[in-house]
Amino acid sequence: SKTIIEPFRIRSVEPIQFTDMEERKRLLKEARWNPFLLKAEDVLIDLLTDSGTGAMSSRQWSAMIESDESYAGSSSYYKFDSAVRDITGFRHVIPTHQGRAAENILFSLMVSAGQSVIPNNTHFDTTRAHVEHKGGEARDLLIAEGYRPQTDHPFKGNMDTDKLESTIRDVGADRIPVIMLTVTNNSGGGQPVSMANIREVSRIARKYGIPFFLDACRFAENCWFIKTREPGFEHSSPIEIARELFSYADGCTMSAKKDGMSNIGGFLALNDDDMARQCRSLSILTEGFPTYGGMAGYDMEAVAAGLHEALDEGYLRYRIRSTAYLGEKLTDAGIAIIRPTGGHAVYIDAREMLPHIPSLQYPAWSLTNALYLTGGIRAVEIGSVMFGLQPDGTEREAPMELVRLAIPRRVYTQSHIDYLAEVVIHTYRQREHLCGYRITDAPSVLRHFSAELEPL
Ligand code: F0G
């Protein structure tokens, strides 16, 4: 059959909250025009993130009931450890409460203030913040196609490997403690990285003796794109592709809130024995004993089961198809999105939609707020509010002004997506009435989470 249906049935449901336009205007104003500050119960369809918002399977829930909550050496830890090692092949697995905690441990040990430069295809905001917080410099070396929303390319998350080599030569290998690749490239549209690119980055890293780590949050979605787009992988299973992908790296950071199919959790995994010892010592300070990190035993059970569920072919086919379905509806209505659609989200090109709003009046923020006012939808800005503030306190326009509609895993049905498309298209037709915004108060790091704004 042609229709790809949700590969599950629903046994437990949660009501969602309907509000009218007047109420939403009041609520958003009370939230200082920042959707992060809304109460979730005032949101109808919440596409703020695909992180930790997924529905767990009955298998995950039953594993959670059977968890072992021992402080040290619990059986839940060993299940978690063996699931991670089965997929990644890395020798050491250090549990953390979420992805950024793994980043914190890794970069605390690797980054020297004023010295280190970290290349990545595109740093996610917390990754960049951790590098900069430790005094390092985060450099994004994405291929040029990755910055052109309207250009089709099967692997727009690829790193520009010529730029990587020239960066290593300019900066000096001794100042590059680690090379990172984010799979899929979240900040660049959820776009995948090809196996060929991963292999090439790995070859360069080894040539210069630099450790190579993956930011693996959405590794399973990346594997599906490799299977369906990269010649030679059509007959491989997602787990075989995942094992090959990880085999080229020396380690990874992972937020299990994405392709771990869990509400919380993460890990740092790596091969180097000495580095692992240092990471464990630091994790005791910030996370907890090395056999639980920041997680309860039941969290580790959920992740252990979830990592393999994320690699299920039926699930991945449905997952990637449902994102593409939304992308097609918006594209058919004339809305510019990052093409092709990525794995976990559709990204609307707000610079293209709202040319009358200058970047430093935050067009993508404006569209995000309009989607809430129009239909109770919460999306997230990935533009100049998120990335515009420079470490020296100045403001610069972000490379792209995007609104991300992130799709939680296994949560919304096709009719939710149809409704969502209607709201976006309606907003698009009213686009000339949207106005810019001004920031009235904001912290100096990760300002989008708590900034206060007002419409101009
Ligand atoms: N790396 C990437 C590529 C991410 O997308 C995220 C989180 C992290 C690292 C950090 O993981 O949240 O578990 O600490 N992304 C979420 C998002 C928040 O909405 O895209 P975390």
Complex confidence, ipTM: 0.99
Task: Find the 257 Cα to ligand 1 centroid distance in Å.
Answer: 8
The burial of 112, by beta-carbon neighbours within 10 Å (0-12 exposed, 13-18 middle, 19 or more buried), is given as: exposed
Q: Residue 192 CA to chain centroid, in angstroms?
A: 12
Residue nearest to atom 15 of ligand 1 (CA): 51
For 93-160, where are the alpha helices, taking DSSP H only? 99-110, 125-133
pLDDT value at position 299? Answer: 98
104 Cβ below 6 A of ligand 1 = no
100 Cβ below 6 A of ligand 1 = yes
d(CA 299, CA 60): 9
pLDDT value at position 361? Answer: 97
The list of the chain residues with pLDDT below 50 reads: none
For residues 402 and 347, the answer to whether their CB atoms sit within 8 Å is yes
Task: Find the 94 Cα to ligand 1 centroid distance in Å.
Answer: 17
Tell which one of 107, 218, 258 to mutate to probe ligand 1, the residue whose CB is within 8 A of the most ligand atoms.
Answer: 258
Residue nearest to atom 9 of ligand 1 (CA): 99
Q: What domains lie within the chain, and their CATH numbers?
A: 21-50+320-455 (3.90.1150.10), 58-309 (3.40.640.10)
Distances (CA, A) of 403 to 52, 80, 379, 396: 19, 35, 7, 18
d(CA 267, CA 332): 40
Q: In this structure, what are the phi and psi dihedrals at residue 343, rounded to the nearest 5 degrees?
A: -85, -55
127 Cβ below 6 A of ligand 1 = yes
Tokens 């810019």 appear where? 436
Tell which one of 193, 217, 381 to mutate to probe ligand 1, the residue whose CB is within 8 A of the most ligand atoms.
Answer: 217
What pTM does this model have? 0.95
Tokens 């996370």 appear where? 287
pLDDT value at position 125? Answer: 85
d(CA 258, CA 252): 14
* pLDDT tens-digit readout, 109-140: 999 999 999 999 999 988 999 999 999 999 99
98 Cβ below 6 A of ligand 1 = yes
pLDDT value at position 322? Answer: 94
For residues 183 and 151, the answer to whether their CB atoms sit within 8 Å is no
Give the ligand 1 atom nearest the CA of 184: 3
Task: Find the 126 Cα to ligand 1 centroid distance in Å.
Answer: 7
Give the ligand 1 atom nearest the CA of 98: 13
Q: Residue 113 CA to chain centroid, in angstroms?
A: 26
**For the CA atoms of 255, 259, 264, 266, what is the dihedral angle to 10 degrees?**
-30
Q: In this structure, what are the phi and psi dihedrals at residue 447, rounded to the nearest 5 degrees?
A: -70, -25
Task: Find the 223 Cα to ligand 1 centroid distance in Å.
Answer: 18
Tell which one of 128, 215, 255 to mutate to probe ligand 1, the residue whose CB is within 8 A of the most ligand atoms.
Answer: 255
For residues 60 and 261, the answer to whether their CB atoms sit within 8 Å is yes
What single letter denotes the amino acid at residue 107? F
Task: Find the 124 Cα to ligand 1 centroid distance in Å.
Answer: 7
pLDDT value at position 446? Answer: 83
Give the DSSP letter of residue 111: P
Task: Find the 184 Cα to ligand 1 centroid distance in Å.
Answer: 11
191 Cβ below 6 A of ligand 1 = no
What is the DSSP secondary-structure string of 27-48? HHHHTTT-GGGS-GGG-SEE-S
217 Cβ below 6 A of ligand 1 = yes
Q: In this structure, what are the phi and psi dihedrals at residue 47, rounded to the nearest 5 degrees?
A: -115, 25
For residues 414 and 45, the answer to whether their CB atoms sit within 8 Å is no
d(CA 73, CA 287): 16
319 Cβ below 6 A of ligand 1 = no
Considering just the CA atoms, what is the radius of gyration of the chain in Å?
21
Among 358, 257, 349, which Cα is nearest to 310's?
A: 257
pLDDT value at position 19? Answer: 95
186 Cβ below 6 A of ligand 1 = yes
369 Cβ below 6 A of ligand 1 = no
Q: Residue 180 CA to chain centroid, in angstroms?
A: 14
d(CA 333, CA 128): 35
Distances (CA, A) of 296 to 11, 72, 74, 276, 303: 25, 11, 10, 21, 11
366 Cβ below 6 A of ligand 1 = no
187 Cβ below 6 A of ligand 1 = no
What single letter denotes the amino acid at residue 9? R
